[in-house]
Amino acid sequence: MIMNCLRACSKSIPDIAGEAAYGMTHSESAEGSTAKYIVCVPVAPLLICPPVFIARKFEASEYAVFKIKFEFLDSGEFWRILHSKWLPESGYALKDKQVCEGRPDFTKYADIEVYGKEFSDGIMYIYAPIVKK
């Protein structure tokens, strides 16, 4: 779906910087209790983005990068393992992410899904915003 969206939009977006598409989950509310998911492409410079699209910059963060198969993300298994195994054993925590009522809330630091050239083989990357504990 994301690659189809990229192909359809690429004729409408000038100055796409690169060949990857991104899925980003973040919150725009102060309490972080609701999330937005956006499909996007990088453009350079950001000011050239047509008015029908949303241009967005995110604050800088350190990220843990994971190379995975799309099916692993789609099944929900990636996030379960990240929270139950990788984070507790790594010495890192998700940056500014709070857990409320047993589920993680979203923050201004985007979780980024990268759909690049390898996606035709089902390979993608997840960037999770982290901070040292």
Q: What total of structural domains would you count in the chain? A: 1
Q: Looking up tokens 């809330």, which residue turns up?
A: 105
Q: What's the pLDDT at 15?
A: 73
Domain that holds residue 89: 2-132
Q: Looking up tokens 């000011």, which residue turns up?
A: 47
Say if residues 103 and 97 touch (Cβ distance below 8 Å). no
pTM equals 0.78
pLDDT in tens, 74-105: 888 888 898 889 999 999 988 876 555 555 55
